[in-house]
Amino acid sequence: MTLRLTRRAAIGLAFACGLLLGSGHASAEKIVISNWDGYMPADLLANFTKETGIEAEMSVHATNEEIMGKVVAGGGKGYDVLFVSSPFVEALQNLKLIAPLDAGKIPNLANLYPEARTLAYDPGNAHSVPYAWGTTGLCYRSDLVKAAPTSWMDLLKPSADLKGRITMLATDRWLMAAGEKALGYSVNTTDADEIAKTKALLIEAKKNLLAYDDTTFYSKLVSSEAVLVHAWDGWCNYGIAENPAIKFVIPKEGSDMWVDTMVVTAASEHKDAAMAFINYVLRPEVHRWVAENILYKVPNQKAMEGLDPKLIEQYPNIGIAPADLMKEEQLRDLGKAQKDYTRAVTEITSAQ
Indicate the SS3 state at residue 118: coil
Rounded to whole angstroms, the Cα distance separating 151 from 182 reads: 8
CA atoms within 13 A on the CB side of 121: 30
Residues contacting residue 324 through CB under 8 Å, at least 6 positions apart? none
Transcribe 163-202 into DSSP letters: TTSEEE--SHHHHHHHHHHHTT--TT---HHHHHHHHHHH
Other C-beta atoms closer than 10 Å to the C-beta of 142 total: 14
Q: What is the distance between the alpha carbons of residues 85 and 64, in angstroms, rounded to a whole number?
A: 7
Taking the C-alpha atoms of 14, 267, 261 and 45 in order, what is their torsion angle to the nearest 10 degrees? Answer: -60
Separation between Cα atoms, residue 130 and residue 116, nearest integer Å:
7
Sequence-distant contacts of 200-206: CB under 8 A, at least 24 apart: 201/156, 202/156, 202/175, 202/176, 202/178, 202/348, 203/347, 203/348, 203/351, 204/156, 204/157, 205/155, 205/156, 205/157, 205/168, 205/179, 206/348, 206/349, 206/351
Whole-number pLDDT of residue 63:
87
Q: What is the pLDDT of residues 277-327, one digit of tens each?
A: 999 999 999 999 999 999 999 999 999 999 999 999 999 999 999 999 999
User: Integer distance in angstroms from the first to the last C-alpha of the chain?
Assistant: 42
R_g over Cα of the chain: 20
Residue type, 238: Y
**Three-class SS state of 12:** coil
- Residue 193 is predicted with a pLDDT of 98
Query: Of the candidates 225, 252, 235, which has an alpha carbon nearest to the alpha carbon of residue 134?
Result: 235
Predicted confidence at residue 323, as pLDDT, reads 96
What is the structure's pLDDT at 28?
62
CATH number of 134-256+331-350, picked from 3.40.50.970, 3.40.710.10, 3.40.50.800, 3.40.190.10? 3.40.190.10
For domain 30-133+258-324, give its CATH number from 3.40.718.10, 3.40.190.10, 3.30.1180.20, 3.90.1150.10.
3.40.190.10
The 10s digit of each residue's pLDDT in 157-215 is: 999 999 999 999 998 999 999 999 999 999 999 999 999 999 999 999 999 999 999 98
Residues 262, 81 contacting (CB under 8 angstroms): yes
* Helix, strand counts (H, E) of the chain: 14, 11
User: At residue 261, does pLDDT exceed 90?
Assistant: yes
Please compute the mean of the pLDDT values over residues 328-345 and round it to a whole number.
95
Dihedral sign from CA coordinates of 72, 136, 240, 158: positive
Q: Does residue 128 or residue 19 have the better pLDDT?
A: 128
Q: What φ, ψ does residue 172 adopt, rounded to 5°?
A: -45, -60
Name residue 150's amino acid: T
pTM: 0.89
C-beta separation of 60 from 15 below 8 A: yes
3 has pLDDT over 70:
no
Provide the residue ranges of all domains of the chain, joining segments of one domain with +: 30-133+258-324, 134-256+331-350
Q: Is the pLDDT of residue 11 over 80?
A: no
**Whether 195 contacts 341, CB under 8 Å:** yes
Other Cβ atoms less than 10 A from the Cβ of 298: the count is 30
CB 210 within 8 A of CB 165: yes
Instruction: Between 350 and 25, name the one with better pLDDT.
Output: 350
State pLDDT tens for residues 118-166.
Answer: 999 999 999 999 999 999 999 999 999 999 999 999 999 999 999 999 9
